[in-house]
Amino acid sequence: MTGGSDVETGSRDPDALVRRAGARGNPDRDQHFLVDDRVLDRIPTYLPESADRSHVLEVGGGAGALTDRLLAAAPADGSVTVIERDPTYASFLREEFEAEITEGTLTVIEADALECELPAFTACVSNLPYGVSSELAFRLLPAKRPLVLTFQREFAERMVAEPNTAEYGRLSVSAQHYADVELLEVVPPEAFDPQPAVESAIVRATPREPAYTVDDEAFFLRFVKALFTQRRKTVRNAIRNTAHISGLDDPAAVVSAVDETTLSKRPGELSPAGFAELAAVAAEHGVVSGGGE
């Protein structure tokens, strides 16, 4: 392999990086590398203007095309940390970006981002593997840092969906609990190597406190999950049918304490604030225990 120490940061050709890595991405391992220069150049600019860019985290560095752009966009005293689980690509990143690692502007962690302790970061910009998008998103969202993440388009549309739409569900409520979530750009399969079978989309999550109060976040998220397993039922029946998931010991008492208008709705009609209000009543009247999966 040829090291990249003599290459100006931000100018590495994505296709050349893939060739130098000496191994093509494996779709079976969710390895679809973004190689469209125009998209790669835009992604770092999608962080909010107010975002602290001093320590950017990238999950899934692959052959380093986005890593290169993130280094170029970093402030003078900034740094980038990449988590890459594939030993071949982790080794390649260490060789390709040897100069940046020596300078202290880049750190490469060879690990599974679902299992390792995440390093401290001020923002995260990543092209996430599709198969673990949900798990990774919900490791990142509670950190309450600005995120710019590339997902499968269907997943992204569910994140930003509004109540009373087919896409709205547990993912929508949970993501919007932590942040203002926006779909910024649809990315075609041709922008990747190898090409995925579906379109992708870039999402920005800007952290903020919700406009409602949640005393027990774990219960709130579990309650949302429970009710959406019965999304075609009324809220009344969903509460009754999912006590084993939400952890309610007395779902009948919850139903008795909730107003008829809310009970007659379906879960997909409730806003995140509506879920928070309902969860508070459930926790008060339902004697919450551990809950299940």
Looking up residue 260, the CATH number of its domain turns out to be 1.10.8
Rounded Cα distance, 204 and 151, in Å:
11
Q: Are strands 79-84 and 147-152 parallel, antiparallel or unpaired?
A: unpaired
User: Quick one: 221 and 124 in the same domain?
Assistant: no
| Average pLDDT rounded to a whole number, residues 143-160 | 97
User: Quick one: 164 and 186 in the same domain?
Assistant: yes
- Predicted confidence at residue 27, as pLDDT, reads 78
Taking residue 139's Cβ as centre, other Cβ atoms within 10 Å add up to 15
User: Quick one: 60 and 126 in the same domain?
Assistant: yes
User: Quick one: 95 and 188 in the same domain?
Assistant: yes
> Residue 28: pLDDT above 80?
no
Task: Confirm whether residue 247 is marked as ligand binding.
Answer: no
> Residue 196: pLDDT above 50?
yes
Q: Is residue 9 part of a domain?
A: no
Res. 31 pLDDT band, cuts 50 70 90: confident
Q: Is residue 23 part of a domain?
A: yes
Q: Is residue 1 part of a domain?
A: no
> Residue 3: pLDDT above 50?
no
- Judged by DSSP in three states, 180 sits in strand
- Predicted confidence at residue 193, as pLDDT, reads 92
Rounded Cα distance, 258 and 278, in Å:
8
> Residue 239: pLDDT above 70?
yes
Q: Facing residues of 201 across strands? A: 151, 186
Res. 7 pLDDT band, cuts 50 70 90: low
Core vs surface per residue 221-255: b (16+ CB within 10 A) or e? bbbbbbbbebeebbbbebbbebbebbbbeebebbb
Least confident of 14-28, 32-46, 54-68, 104-118: 14-28
> Residue 122: pLDDT above 80?
yes
Q: Is residue 293 part of a domain?
A: no
Task: Confirm whether residue 32 is marked as ligand binding.
Answer: yes
Task: Confirm whether residue 34 is marked as ligand binding.
Answer: yes
State which of 168, 189, 207 marks the end of a domain: 207
User: Quick one: 190 and 229 in the same domain?
Assistant: no
Domain of 38 in residue numbering reads as: 14-207
- Number of domains composing the chain: 2
- Predicted confidence at residue 5, as pLDDT, reads 46
Task: Confirm whether residue 62 is marked as ligand binding.
Answer: no
φ and ψ at residue 113, rounded to 5 degrees: -65, -15
User: Quick one: 89 and 176 in the same domain?
Assistant: yes
Instruction: Say if pTM beats, i.e. exceeds, 0.85.
Output: yes
- Predicted confidence at residue 2, as pLDDT, reads 40
On average, the pLDDT of the chain sits at 94
State which of 165, 187, 207 marks the end of a domain: 207
State how far Cα 197 lies from the chain centre: 20
